[in-house]
Amino acid sequence: MSATAINESNVKNLWDDSIVKGMTGVERLVYRSNCLGADQRITNTGGGNTSSKLSEIDPLTGEEIDVMWVKGSGGDLRTSKQENFSSLYYSKLLALQEIYDKQPERGPKTAAEDAMVGYFPHCTFNLNPRASSIDTPLHAFLPAKHIDHMHPNSAIAIAASRRSEELTQEIFGDRIGWVPWLRPGFELGLLMQRKVQEHPSLQGLVMGQHGLINWADDDRECYELTLSLIDKAAQFIDSKDKGEATFGGQKYETLDDDARDAILVELLPWLRGQVCQQKRFIGTLQSDPRILRFVNSHDAVRLAELGTSCPDHFLRTKIKPLYVDWNPQEETTEALKEKLSAGLAQYRQDYKAYYEACKHENSPAMRDPNPTVVLIPGIGMIAWGKNKSESRVTAEFYNCAVEVMRGAEAMDEYIALPQQEAFDIEYWLLEEAKLKRMPPEKELERSIVLVVGAGAGIGKQVAHRLAKEGAHVVCADLNAEMAEATANELTKIYGQGIGVAGTGISGCGPAIGVGVDITNRESIQAALQQTLLAYGGLDNIVVTAGVFLPPSRDGKLSDKAWQLTFDVNVRGSYNLVDEARRIFEEQGLEGSIVLTTSVNGVVGKKGSLAYDTSKAAANHLVRELAIEMSPLVRVNAIAPATVIEGSTMFPRDRVIASLTKYEIPFAESESDEALCSKLAQFYAQRTLTKRPITPADQAEAAYFLLSSKSSKTTGQIINVDGGLHEAFQR
């Protein structure tokens, strides 16, 4: 077909012959997959499969053989590379049918069908370690060389309509067939094979309650066929669009951005505490026009209760969302909380009843009964996941579910997957095994940490150390640009994540940067608001911000300098903890706070009177806050000695002044790094360990105090000073 026939408002043809020229067959498969995955209208994140049957040289025999390359388990088309595809001897895959035919009790959802997945590794070509997807038979048993199995909203809308088979015929004619719902696997592959054998001219199939699969013997032709079918379905839906009557018309009005954010800031800590009774979740907020049109509508209550249709959707979104019928124009936030509280209780009861009614003797234990999607009129959607990427995927999938419902209701009537079928996907033993194969979660993967002072020095190192443990890091600093630079570094290292949802700052990855002045409560409130809107809550705080103002040559310090020293080093930390207290209390989740004091707080010396006194006060602030915040939040501190490396408190002129003071030889031409190293080595000789103290040393101590390893420790100040005996606690 011609690419010009495609309406680019529905899909976009990204194929470029100049790019694929000279590529191997596998490289072309990866390219095709990336083009398909790049368009959210074609398939959702992590969803869909592509395959190519290619000629390869058998490493054992040296002969040319047919090998099927297919997207492996857990892959994402948008980001996939060759290593994300499994490769299997095609002849061996076909031979599996003979093994299956010999099973005495074969059929859909039987042990025999599931057992066939265990044979896939025996078909592996060239020791490829990528595990095969459960969709492998769908590609193996269809004869075409190139196959695309996508989850476009327009096609799923057809698949999830009551008159799905008739609509397929009406829209596509005889070129596209239809098969009823069957759980992905061996039986579905055989059903498709029979369908094509009966109708060899078919170019694809609409899969009831599931999606679209189509094929061709040329890879570009397959790609463009995929686009044309999606476009055709979308155009048909558009022709039936109900306009303002979509979803029965609007029942409520959307709140303006400021009103919405104010409600969310008040609501989110409490709501996060409610849904995190078993495990912590990270939130993503979605308030785009499409989701708002749904949550504000008359039909939202009915459709939300039906749940989702496509199995890829409800593996993330659960059997259904929690919809709260709250009037944003007339009811208060307190009324919203009351309705949410009742709704959550009912949701958990419903989920337990669903589990009890559908479970089998060998079903895994019931999972967390709390919703992962919460829908609120006037506000939008709040999605939850174990980390930011997961929650963005959850939001993305429910966005897709809403569009599926819109399309199905425009053409016909939306129907959800039957509960038993949904359960058999959600609690499928093969899916359970897949979950168990996943690497263990990192220590802070479900945590949100605010690091103040993250623009440089110790704070920056702390941000990197915590992100390494999976933390979602809010990098805060008086210098907002430096905070954002640190956040960008973390996002570059750990990736934005695979989800594509999230409104405003909530579309972020594992880190954000914000400006904050901890001497100003309004500035602190703004930073905490950004934290809540980005991630939905707050678990830990680390404060590394501090100031040292040197006295004049005669040893004097102005009243203004004294005030600023105490404002930053003492009152700033108190301000921050005091403002965050409501969040911790509303969540009801255990947290941890780490402040930064100094060994100067217990060592008297000449030349830093205000600084040393402020740090002594900060030490006692730690003890007082530990009492104030108990038993929910632990409060501890790290007490560094002179950390030169990367510190904004040691600019070049101060380093030179110190080198001169201590009569350490240096040359004006030496670099900042060389001068700092000399001073650090000098200070190191004062310690018992004789080694310079680095930001990484402080970061390691801060991580320890946040982690479960110190769960019984609070009110303590840990010296990280190399061993200054003058600073030993008395």
CB 159 within 8 A of CB 210: yes
Distances (CA, A) of 168 to 154, 164, 229, 299, 408: 12, 6, 11, 25, 12
Q: How far apart are CA 539 and CA 709, in angstroms?
A: 16
Cα angle 403-299-285, degrees, rounded to a multiple of 5: 55
Cβ count near 669 (within 10 Å): 6
143: left (phi over 0), alpha (psi -120 to 50) or beta: alpha
- C-alpha 12: how far from its chain's center? 26
CA nearest 148: which of 87, 236, 219?
219
Give CA torsion, residues 455, 445, 284, 275, to 10 deg.
-130
CA nearest 139: which of 28, 203, 52?
52
Cβ count near 280 (within 10 Å): 21
Q: What is the DSSP string of 24-46?
A: -HHHHHHHHHHHHHT-TTT--TT
Place of tokens 């003890």: 623
Provide the 8-state DSSP code for 453.
T
Beta strand 717-720 with 633-640 is: parallel
Measured over the CA atoms of residue 624, residue 629, residue 634 and residue 639, the dihedral's sign is: negative
CA nearest 259: which of 194, 333, 188, 200?
333
Q: How far apart are CA 501 and CA 539, in angstroms?
A: 23
Cβ count near 469 (within 10 Å): 15
- C-alpha 679: how far from its chain's center? 43
Q: How far apart are CA 180 and CA 246, in angstroms?
A: 27
- C-alpha 678: how far from its chain's center? 44
Distances (CA, A) of 271 to 265, 343, 474, 583: 10, 12, 20, 11
Helix (H) or strand (E) holding 488: helix 480-494
Q: How far apart are CA 615 and CA 599, in angstroms?
A: 8
Q: How far apart are CA 511 and CA 466, in angstroms?
A: 11
CB 726 within 8 A of CB 600: no
Active site residues: 611
Q: Which ranges of 536-669 would DSSP assign to H, the alpha helix?
A: 559-566, 572-587, 609-629, 652-661
Residues 6+ apart with CB under 8 A from 674: none
